[in-house]
Structure 1
């Protein structure tokens, strides 16, 4: 703003965030309009900056670019958090998958051991079956021999004519003892074979149970593989989303830079406008002050006064 007072002093004050200068001008002590007027006059020039103030208020108010950048940054943080959760879940799934694979390997080893035991037991069972068959054949042969011996004894008893022959009981006693021993051994062999057969049945049942467990573990591994693939796809989607959000944040940063450049240009235009207005105000103040002065007491321009003042200072020095 520029003010001119009737006392002969002209001052320039500018407040607008740009250039601020104050220049006192010393002229004649007093001047009169005429012999009939002794009052002092005061003239002021005050331009209005309402339009510029409203524009700057709208410009520095709510910034949609900053709001959008904050929203995108929050969304990026949420996506990063979801990505971390998904990666932790994938690690847990991989750990459980490794544990299940280890359990399957242990069950496979145990199954191979059981199969080896089963093969060994089957070979033992075959050998015992051969022994049982051999014992049965021997039993049949012994029975046939017994029948033949009994027939021979009958024939001998029928043909016996003298009392010097030994009794039939003495001849049959050792044969019966041997036959009893053979029967006991055959019974023991049959019991052992039955025990081996029951053991083979138990091993087969256990083998079937292990096969079922292996099938269940394989199904669970398939399900885990499917879940793992789904999680990997979700992680890829989240990674793509994070990339897109980063690109959006970069684009928002470029827009914010453009807004800052525009604000800087507007401020430079305001500074230039204020400087032009200061010069115009100075000229207006000089013209208004000269209107009330005589030819000898007119106010000189500020620039001329400054140049003369510098010249006088140089001269004195």
Structure 2
């Protein structure tokens, strides 16, 4: 037997090596933990940077939209400036013509006082034109100031030259066209309200008809079950193909709908006639559900059974009809299992309900779109009315200023006339007096010469 120390020493060496490996592994784990923490921090920072970038992108989109709006406003201001410049040039030419006429009339008045009234009229016209010119100059200056401000704002942001502005004439034509459309829409709304009332009455009548058809179907289904017991499966399968695959009927219990596939086509042959008659009534009623269908209760299930052959592809051909007191389920072997239910419940067909729901949704969307367009047009009309009111107020203020200036000019003209009349009178008075003085001087000189000669 070897000694115990010889056995223990290699084991102790192995233990030391294992401890060293454990320490290395612990250090590695710590390093990995540090790396994971640093990577998590980096991920958080990356998420923050992504959020900041998304916010900046939204800001960039907002700024681009504002830039486009400002470009449109600049184009509008430029077109207004062009129109005002044309008006200003026309007014300046008219003013120059009127000033020339005024000068000619002033010369005519100095020559003779027959055209005084005409001078007054032309002076008034000149004053009015000058005031209009001043107002136009002020408007041009304001428009230039606004255009410069907008240009300075736009110069600091992005620019997009692809957007083009419609001319003023086209805008006015479109405004008139939309006003006509608004009137037509109001008339149509009035007609739609009347038709909605009439169609609500028709809907009530059709609901009564549906109830009568339901009672007839219940009675006919009871008779069909008794009469269809002796029919063959082949005849039933051919009738089933003529119905377009309407094989599956469902019934809702207290927990939900339990589906069953009839093994024999006993009900398909006798229900086809009732389905065809119901389809006719459904088509007539679906056309009438335009305005009155909004009041349909989605939670209520109307007791109507029917099959539609012309439905879209997304609706299956299998209808949900059940008139029995029990529910059927197919077992694993394919044999039907009947579950009795004490309550007798009937439900509307899924196709009819889908048709009615689609019509209701489409009508609601159309009405909502019409309401939105009407609201937008009313807002535009209100804005235009406000602009018209502001322009009327500005015109009234300018008219008052014009009247005041005209009154002041009339006062000045009357004062000038009074002063001219005084000057003319003074000249007339001074003329005869000067002649009398000269004649007296001449007579005195003659008398003096005669006395010297004597």
Structure with greater Cα Rg: 1
TM-score by length of 1: 0.45
